[in-house]
Structures are given as structure tokens and as C-alpha cells.
Chains A and B, each alone.
Chain A
């Protein structure tokens, strides 16, 4: 019954679009400012960005024990 299934499908699409059209949005300038602020606030705690201090490096070469 292609008639009824396409109506059901179309109704779903319309319902979904109504939902999406109804959401509150902010201006990109506001969103961008917030994204930027998050980056800058956390920059110093980003080891891939700033590098790490020797003492904190979990992958630093360790003394190796050999069992003879």
C-alpha cells in the first residue's frame, strides 16, 4: 500500500521539521565567542598544545630493571 506508507513517512518528516524549526538558536557571533573562550581558558592545561613539564610526562623514559 504505497499510498498509506508514503503519507505516514511524510507526516514523520513534517513532524521532525516542525520540531527542528521550533528550537531556539543563538547568533554565530555569540556561539563563536563562547567556543573561543573555552579554548583560551583551557589552553594552558592542553599538553598536546603546550608541551609537558618533564615531571608530569607519563611516557617519560623510566629506569629499567633487568632480572638476571
Chain B
């Protein structure tokens, strides 16, 4: 009824007055952010030494997937990793020996997300099945992992990303249904949902543990949002990309994050300044960026692109420090190992590559 429709309105509020207020608030936000924009990050970084040549090269190629590798995640033990593929297969590898330690075939295709549990005793994965399932990893190689599968998350569209939180007990998911959600692994209960994106959410990343209970998400609405995990509140929002954001990743200090987009740029946002502080782009880089990750010190940003390359950006100076070739199709995921020694890249060429710098 018309009566109910007017509930919650303060005297005189109409759609028109709310619209005017939202426009003036947006303007105010822009002005506030501009006021504090007294210098560019790369100008501040002019005084520091240019990076020397990097000696990072591919040293291992992990072959075994029969189709596009869509996602991978390192185990905290710094040598194992889990990867997932378009053909529904999830494989746990020892990146050191190239040994395949576990394999499970999911009943769905396009397993877009996979994550290793902090304990190293389980993996989570999901995709076109709209779910995220957890598999405990057994020491018994002959055990059928599928039998132990536990369905945890249920979305109404594909699962694009998943991560365990600080323990094996909770997972955070992002979905094509436009939401992110926090789940209790044991009961499958939805603990918190995060609404605010207006299109598919393609990626999420948890803030480094020292900085508290927040995470960042990015998606097809070109926005990157920062969320409070406990309250479900959207704390900050950034909109400067010109196309889908495919990946978001926190800077190691937790004070900033980077994003990769179909607009062929990667961008760097500082949370305390509440704005974009760098754009990583080149005229010669015209293909979409699908994935990003930082080196341990945050100085290097590894970005995988649809032109099969990985550009290594100097985060402070904004220039390209190196370019890694080798994949024969799109790079879908790059991840630096937990101790910062190696970079793993996953690709639509069905392989994963592990790269590291020369030893001195």
C-alpha cells in the first residue's frame, strides 16, 4: 500500500530529494579525495634507486591437467599447491618434486576457485556448480576423496573465488550472483552475506591477519569494495577501472590493494588515502589483465594477462620491471608462495609454471 511505501521516510524525503542528496554526497567524496591528492606515488618514489634486472625464470612446469587451469593456491608449507581446471579436476601437487599427491574429479566443469586450508589438511573448490565444497586430504593415496566431500557454500550463480579465513573452520566465497558470503565449514551455515556489488563478483582477498577482519572484492560492476567481515558492512568503495575487475589482492602491509581488469590496466589503491594511487599500464599492453599478486616486500606486482604474458611492475615507480614469457595461452592466476621464494602461474594452456629468481 502507499502507506507502507512511505515507511522510513523522514518528512519530505522523496526519490528526487534522495537522488539530489546522493549526487551531492558523491561530489563531496570526490572533493575530499582530491583535496588530499597532493602528490603521485611515482613522484614520491623518484628518489629511490631503480630496480636492477630481475633474474626470475620458469624453473618447473606442472603438466597433468587435461584442460584450462583456472585457479591455484599455495599450501602454507610453501611447497604444495592445489589447482583446479575447466574439466572439473582438482589436483594437489608437490611443486618441488612435481609429484601429484591427490586428485579429485568434481561432477561439474569450470572449477573457477580453489583454496588450501591453513592446516594443509583440506582443500576447498567451487565453480559452475554454484557451490563451494571442502575435501579433507588423506594420507592414504588410495582413498577416494570424492566420498569425503562436504558441500559448504550455496550461491545462486557460479562461485568465482573462495578462501579459508584464519582457520579451517570458515570459508569466504565470491559469486556470479553478485554477493560474497562467509560460511561455517562444519555446519554449512551462512554466517554473513555481503551485498553491494551490482553485478558478478569475480574475486576476493582477505586482509593480512594483522590488519583485522576485512576483505576486498572486485567484479563486473568495475567496483572494488572493502568489507567488514563481522557486520557485513561495505566500508569503502573504489570505482576507477573502465571494465570488469578480474582480481583483487592486498598489499602485504594491509594498507592498500591492487586490482587487475579487462581494461588492460592494473591499479593500486591506498585504503588510508581512500583513492587510487597508481595505474600500471603501457601502450603495448592491450589485453585484459586477469590476475595479480605482490612479492613479499610489496615492491613487485606480478600480473597475468590474456596475451599469455606476465608483466612484473615496479609498484612504487609505476614502470614495468620485467616480463615473463612461456605460457601458450591466457594466464588465469598468479600467486607468490607463502615465503616469497617462488611465483606460480596457472594458464589456459593446461599447465602451471613455477618461477623463481637465481640463487646467488
Q: Is B240's beta carbon under 8 Å from chain A?
A: no
Q: Given the complex, which residues of B lie within 8 Å of A36, measured CB to CB?
A: 41, 44-45, 48, 316
A39 CB contacts on chain B under 8 angstroms: 297-299, 315-316
Residue of A nearest to B44 (CB): A32
Given known pairs A18-B25, A35-B251, A39-B315, the reply for A57 and B341 (CB within 8 Å) is yes
A47-B340 in contact (CB<8A): yes
Is B121 part of the contact surface with A, judged by Cβ < 8 Å? no
| CB pair B29 A21 closer than 8 Å | yes
B4 within 8 A of A: yes
**Does any Cβ of A come within 8 Å of B196's Cβ?**
yes
A residues contacting the other copy or chain, number (CB 8 A):
50
- B298 close to A58 (CB less than 8 A): no
Complex contact B360–A4 (CB within 8 A): no
Kindly list chain B residues whose C-beta atoms are within 8 Å of the C-beta of A7: 5, 8-9, 13-15, 18
B343 touches A53 (CB 8 A): no
User: Contact: B256 with A35, CB < 8 Å?
Assistant: yes
A14 with B22, Cβ < 8 A, contacts A38-B297, A39-B315 known: yes
Given contacts A50-B357, A59-B96, whether A17 and B22 have CB atoms under 8 Å apart is yes
Interchain pairs with CB closer than 8 A, number:
200
| Binding-face segment, B31-39, B100-108, B140-148 | B31-39
* Shortest Cβ distance from A54 into B: residue: B359
Assess the B38–A46 pair: CB atoms within 8 A.
no
B342 at the A interface (CB under 8 A) = yes
Q: How far is the CB of A64 from chain B (nearest CB, A)?
A: 10
Per a CB cutoff under 8 Å, which of A6, A18, A25, A53 touches B15? A6
Q: In whole Å, how far is A18's beta carbon from the nearest beta carbon of chain B?
A: 6
Q: Are A48 and B253 in contact (CB under 8 A)?
A: no
The residue on A at minimum CB distance from B354 is A59
CB pair A47–B48 under 8 Å, yes or no, is: no
A52 touching B359 by the CB < 8 A rule? Answer: yes
**Bound: A29/B316 CA distance, A:** 13
Whether the Cβ atoms of B298 and A11 lie closer than 8 Å is no
Chain B stretch 289-306: residues in CB contact (< 8 A) with chain A: 295-300
CA distance A58 to B75 in the complex (A): 14
- A56–B45 Cα distance when bound, in Å, is 31
Instruction: Decide: A32 and B41 in contact? CB cutoff 8 A.
Output: yes
Would B343 and A48 count as touching, CB distance under 8 A? yes
Give B51 Cβ to nearest chain A Cβ, in Å. Answer: 8
Restricting to A3-36, which residues have a CB under 8 Å from any CB of B? 3-4, 6-8, 10-11, 13-14, 16-21, 23, 25-36
Q: Which of A19, A30, A47 has the most CB of B within 10 A?
A: A47
On whether the beta carbons of A52 and B356 are closer than 8 Å, the reply is yes
A55-67 near B? 1/0 per residue, CB < 8 Å: 0111110000000
| A35-B253, A51-B55 given; 19 more Cβ-contact pairs under 8 Å | A7-B15, A14-B18, A25-B36, A25-B272, A26-B272, A26-B273, A28-B38, A28-B40, A30-B272, A31-B272, A32-B39, A32-B270, A32-B273, A33-B44, A35-B270, A35-B298, A46-B295, A57-B341, A59-B342
Question: Can you show 24 pairs from A to B with CB atoms below 8 A apart?
Answer: A10-B15, A13-B22, A17-B26, A20-B235, A21-B29, A28-B40, A28-B277, A31-B255, A35-B253, A35-B315, A35-B316, A36-B41, A39-B315, A42-B296, A45-B296, A47-B340, A48-B300, A48-B356, A49-B300, A54-B359, A56-B359, A57-B359, A58-B339, A59-B95
